[in-house]
Amino acid sequence: MKVKVLLIVFIIFGLSFTLFQIFKKEHPVNISQKEAEAIAVKLYGGKVLNTTVNKENNNYQISIDNHKGIYNMYVDGNTKKVSNVRLIKRKESLLTIDEAKKNIEKELNGRIDQIKQVNKKEGAFAEATVKKDDKHYSVEYDLKKKKIVANTEKKMASNTQMKDHLSKGIEQKSNTNTSLISKQQARNIALQQINGKVTNLSEVITQNGKHYKVTVDGPSEGAHVYVQANTGKVSSISWYAKAQPKPQPKPQSDPKPSGDDDVEDDDDEDDLNDDDENSTDNDD
């Protein structure tokens, strides 16, 4: 009796498994390839390199590249479960700048003044300036190999060199400041502002620096034009009224010579003759 029961159970189980396999073949994968890739990326990040569909097992074989390396995994097309995850190729991670800074300061027992990352053909490096025992060192640190690859002492300028450098800078600045416009240029600038004649030009020092004071006279008024010596700009114009010239007294006439009396007498005689003619006309 027990044997019959076991036989019936075995037959039922076999039929169920067979029907399940037939059902799986008749029904394709439940999720799409994009959905399977999205599941893998969500779990492990990175980007998908390759995807292969296995129709017999209803799953996807997906390769992903992330910051740690290249991974291979399977995503079940029915249950959406991820399995058989394997690291195919490991990536060598780089140290961050903060991590490199701690390692350099610890190894050299100094203090980093400045540090930056530099990418070269050979790889990624950190370049740092380290101060130790009143000396400065230029350090190059390999972020991949995690070690110092170069360390040289930086020669600092002496006090005399620093003074020479400062004096040169002051001299250059002074030379820059002395590049002033000429007096002729100041004269032309003033005449562009006022139509007249330049009667005087002098150099003056104001709170705003050196200026050219150009005096221009017009027909009735004049002005002092202040031109900045280093920029050529007009700072201000001061107008003034020109004084009118006083009339000159007429010179007194000298006494006429005696010969002139005869002329006057002749004139008087002519006047008299004219009077006689006029009187004659009136009588008529």
Per-domain boundaries in the chain = 33-90, 97-154, 183-241
SS (H, E, C) the chain: CHHHHHHHHHHHHHHHHHHHHHHHHHCCCCCCHHHHHHHHHHHHCCEEEEEEEECCCCEEEEEEECCCEEEEEEEECCCCCEEEEEEEEECCCCCCHHHHHHHHHHHHCCEEEEEEEEEECCEEEEEEEEEECCEEEEEEEECCCCEEEEEEEECCCCHHHHHHHHHHHHHHHHHHHCCCCCHHHHHHHHHHHCCCEEEEEEEEEECCEEEEEEEEECCCEEEEEEEECCCCCEEEEEEEECCCCCCCCCCCCCCCCCHHHHHHHHHHHHHHHHHHHHHHHHHC
Q: Please tell me which residue, 71 or 271, carries the higher pLDDT value.
A: 71
pLDDT of residue 261: 47
Tell me: pLDDT of 201 over 90.
yes
Tell me how far CA of residue 11 lies from CA of 7, 15, 19, 24, 250, in angstroms: 6, 6, 12, 20, 158
pLDDT of residue 13: 73
Q: Locate 190 and state its tokens.
A: 């003033």
Q: Of 127, 129, 122, nearest to 145 (Cα)?
A: 122
Tell me: pLDDT of 200 over 50.
yes
Name the phi and psi angles at 214, rounded to 5: -110, 120
Q: Please tell me which residue, 3 or 138, carries the higher pLDDT value.
A: 138
Residues above pLDDT 70, as percent of the chain: 71
- Asked if 88 and 102 count as a contact pair (C-beta separation under 8 A), the reply is no
Q: What pTM, to 2 d.p., does this model score?
A: 0.32
Q: Is 33-90 in CATH node 2.60.40.10?
A: no
Tell me: pLDDT of 95 over 90.
no
Q: Please tell me which residue, 151 or 284, carries the higher pLDDT value.
A: 151
Each residue's pLDDT tens digit, 154-163:
876 555 565 6
183-241: what CATH class? alpha beta
pLDDT of residue 260: 46
Tell me: pLDDT of 227 over 70.
yes
pLDDT of residue 283: 42
Q: Of 44, 148, 150, 145, nearest to 93 (Cα)?
A: 145
Q: Of 85, 89, 59, 88, nearest to 73 (Cα)?
A: 85
pLDDT of residue 168: 63
Q: Please tell me which residue, 171 or 198, carries the higher pLDDT value.
A: 198
Distance (Å, rounded) from C-alpha 271 to C-alpha 36? 142
User: Do 33-90 and 97-154 share a fold?
Assistant: yes
Q: What is the mean pLDDT of the chain?
A: 79
For domain 97-154, give its CATH number from 3.30.56.10, 2.60.40.10, 3.10.450.40, 3.30.9.10.
3.10.450.40
Tell me: pLDDT of 48 over 90.
yes
pLDDT of residue 241: 80
Q: Among 115-129, 196-210, 238-252, name the one with the lowest average pLDDT.
A: 238-252
Q: Please tell me which residue, 58 or 25, carries the higher pLDDT value.
A: 58
Each residue's pLDDT tens digit, 6-19:
777 778 877 777 76
Between strands 82-90 and 135-142, the pairing is unpaired
Q: Is the dihedral of CA 232, 233, 235, 241 positive or negative?
A: positive
Distance (Å, rounded) from C-alpha 65 to C-alpha 49? 7
pLDDT of residue 276: 42
Tell me: pLDDT of 249 over 90.
no
Tell me: pLDDT of 110 over 80.
yes
Mean pLDDT within 217-230: 88
